[in-house]
């Protein structure tokens, strides 16, 4: 059994059959030679009139029908019986109404199953046989020389009925499959799709559009006026473009759930038929959040690539003269009879030179490309080890290193993973400060965005949190809101995560705390570094 739309189309086809019956009645009545023969046409007129009234009533009552299957079977039976009466009343095998059976079989095949269409064709053949034999029986010619001709006639019509039902079933199924495929494609599009007809009513509104525009997800909205989009800024914006059939692309802000907002791209154009005449409008709404994140990551990578070149320059251009300055200061300090102030200045020079050298070392360590030394180890052991390292500098802060309930193994560079989690833990301790607080480390198997198996490490604290405007920049080298420090720790954590083919993210509420999440693939090998030019490697 088909959908309610196909049932409605079936009932419309029945009305077409009724109109065709009236036309055939007129042609048949005009062909009668005598008044008596014309008067005999009163019964066919009555039959077709009753059939037409029944078809109209069925169409009018469709909205109140609850058992569509039984309703369709009754309508098909009425069609075949009425057509059988018309054939019997108008001469049997020579009746002009015999082709109406084909129309009914075609209409029934659009809503019946394969078995139902076969039963319909067989029933039509039986009713046609009875309708053809009744005039012969009334004339007393049953069993005469016409019997073999009638048998051949009925056999031919029976084959034609079944062939027509098979053909109609294939056509109906192909159309239904194409319609279903189109609906599935539209419903599963990554972009929101809204289309309106010429009258300004919604023709298509897919699930993604309902989600992006904040509409009721369980409702289809097809046939509703475009005014249902009112209520939010972005919906008003889309509705205005659809009403005016505007063409172009605009960036706007969508109102997300719980008062949040996200960037969106709205593309609108007029909908035209094959002759170029306007028949409506269509708009696509695309969430730009992922694109913005990719662009931010690309900018960060570009900055880091530049940083690599800067680090090389610093190593070659600063370290050599710095060593000379430090050596000169040491030579001066060894001179006899120096004033205490001079010795103090020499010590300052040596100390500051060593400090600058340490900064360069940390800088180069961050920028230097190294291959991963991967091994298989237990994530719980890693969590416990990092917890011990953090407790040595925790002060009043409680360190909770929670091992997984079961052994969770991961293939990674253990030293770099220790450095990653230690950097995140130190950042958490600095966010808490001298006050009593808590840092929690956890690890658990969590599939990634593509469903790949992996491990998620979580480092949480109840410190000062990170302002929303700073959260997109915290993984950038030398970005820091602290009074001391270079801002290398989180950038290093980000780089180590990328080297392992993983992802790092942050959830933070100012004044309440921060949670860093690091997802790494359980079995992924280290990615090859990206190379620019023939010899100069940079990392991604």
d(CA 479, CA 304) in angstroms, rounded, equals: 12
Range ranked top by mean pLDDT from 293-302, 323-332, 506-515: 506-515
Q: Are residues 205 and 225 in contact, defined by beta-carbon separation less than 8 angstroms? A: no
Please tell me which residue, 256 or 516, carries the higher pLDDT value: 516
Cross-strand bridge partners of residue 439: 399, 461
Pick from 404, 457, 446, 440: nearest CA to 513: 440
Residue 344 CA, chain-centre distance (Å), reads 68
Range ranked top by mean pLDDT from 58-67, 82-91, 396-405, 515-524: 396-405
d(CA 262, CA 233) in angstroms, rounded, equals: 13
pLDDT at site 457: 93
Where b means 16+ CB within 10 Å and e means fewer, 209-225 reads: bbbbbebeeeeebeeee
Where b means 16+ CB within 10 Å and e means fewer, 417-453 reads: bebbbbbbbbbbbbbbeeeebbbbbbbeeeebeeeee
Residue 530 has pLDDT above 50, yes or no: no
Instruction: Encode pLDDT of 133-142 as tens digits.
Output: 877 776 665 5
Measured in residues, the chain has a length of 540
Question: Per-residue confidence at 37, pLDDT binned at 50, 70, 90?
Answer: very low
pLDDT at site 448: 65
> Whole-number mean pLDDT of the chain?
77
pLDDT at site 139: 62
pLDDT at site 204: 84
Work out the average pLDDT over 117-144.
Answer: 77
pLDDT at site 439: 92
Residue 5 has pLDDT above 80, yes or no: no
Residue 371 has pLDDT above 70, yes or no: no
Question: Per-residue confidence at 534, pLDDT binned at 50, 70, 90?
Answer: very low
Question: Per-residue confidence at 521, pLDDT binned at 50, 70, 90?
Answer: confident
Q: Which of 59-63, 110-114, 518-522 has the lowest mean pLDDT?
A: 59-63
d(CA 20, CA 28) in angstroms, rounded, equals: 12
pLDDT at site 251: 82
Question: Per-residue confidence at 34, pLDDT binned at 50, 70, 90?
Answer: very low
Measure the CA dihedral 481/482/486/491, to 10°.
Answer: -50
d(CA 183, CA 179) in angstroms, rounded, equals: 6
d(CA 73, CA 70) in angstroms, rounded, equals: 5
């Amino acid at each position: 059994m088909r959908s309610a739309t196909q049932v409605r189309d079936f009932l419309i086809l029945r009305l077409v059959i009724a109109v065709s019956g009236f036309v055939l009645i007129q042609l048949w009545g005009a062909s009668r030679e005598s008044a008596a023969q014309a008067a005999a046409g009163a019964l066919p007129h009555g039959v077709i009139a009753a059939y037409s009234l029944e078809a109209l009533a069925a169409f009018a009552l469709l909205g109140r029908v609850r058992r569509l299957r039984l309703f369709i079977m009754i309508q098909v039976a009425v069609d075949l019986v009425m057509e059988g009466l018309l054939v019997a009343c108008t001469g049997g095998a020579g009746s002009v109404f015999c082709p109406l059976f084909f129309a009914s079989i075609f209409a029934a095949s659009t809503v019946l199953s394969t078995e139902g269409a076969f039963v319909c064709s067989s029933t039509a053949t039986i009713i046609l046989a009875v309708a053809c034999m009744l005039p012969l029986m009334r004339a007393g010619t049953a069993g005469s020389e016409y019997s073999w001709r009638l048998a051949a006639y009925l056999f031919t019509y029976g084959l034609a009925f079944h062939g027509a039902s098979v053909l109609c079933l294939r056509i109906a199924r192909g159309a239904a499959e194409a319609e279903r495929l189109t609906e599935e494609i539209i419903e599963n599009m990554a972009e929101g799709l809204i289309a309106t007809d010429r009258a300004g009513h919604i023709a298509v509104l897919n699930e993604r559009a309902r989600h992006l525009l904040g509409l009721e997800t369980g409702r289809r909205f097809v046939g509703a006026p475009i005014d249902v989009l009112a209520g939010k800024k972005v919906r008003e914006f889309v509705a205005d473009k659809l009403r005016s059939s505007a063409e172009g692309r605009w960036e706007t802000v969508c109102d997300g759930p719980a008062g949040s907002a996200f960037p969106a791209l709205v593309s609108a154009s007029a909908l035209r038929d094959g002759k170029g005449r306007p028949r409506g409008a269509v708009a696509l709404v695309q969430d730009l959040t992922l694109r913005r994140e990719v662009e931010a990551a690309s900018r960060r990578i570009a900055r880091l690539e530049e940083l690599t070149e800067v680090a090389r320059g610093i190593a070659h251009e600063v370290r050599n003269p710095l060593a000379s300055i430090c050596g000169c200061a040491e030579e001066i300090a060894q001179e006899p009879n120096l004033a205490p102030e001079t010795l103090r200045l020499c010590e300052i020079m040596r100390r500051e030179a060593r400090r600058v050298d340490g900064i360069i070392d940390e800088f180069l360590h961050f920028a230097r490309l190294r291959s991963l030394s991967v091994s298989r180890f237990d994530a719980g052991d890693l969590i416990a080890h990092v917890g011990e390292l953090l407790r040595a500098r925790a002060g009043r802060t409680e360190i909770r290193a929670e091992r997984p309930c079961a052994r969770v193994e991961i293939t990674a560079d253990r030293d770099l993973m220790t450095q990653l989690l230690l950097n995140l833990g130190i950042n958490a301790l600095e966010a808490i400060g001298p006050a009593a607080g808590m840092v929690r480390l956890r690890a658990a198997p969590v599939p990634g965005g593509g469903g790949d198996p992996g491990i998620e490490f979580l480092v949480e604290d109840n410190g000062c949190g990170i302002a929303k405007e700073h959260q997109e920049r915290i993984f950038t080298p030398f970005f820091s809101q602290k009074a001391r420090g270079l801002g290398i720790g989180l950038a290093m954590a980000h780089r180590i995560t990328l080297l392992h083919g993983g992802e790092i993210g942050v959830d933070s509420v100012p004044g309440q705390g921060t949670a860093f999440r690091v997802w790494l693939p359980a079995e992924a090998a280290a990615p090859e570094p990206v190379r620019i030019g023939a010899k100069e490697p940079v990392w991604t």
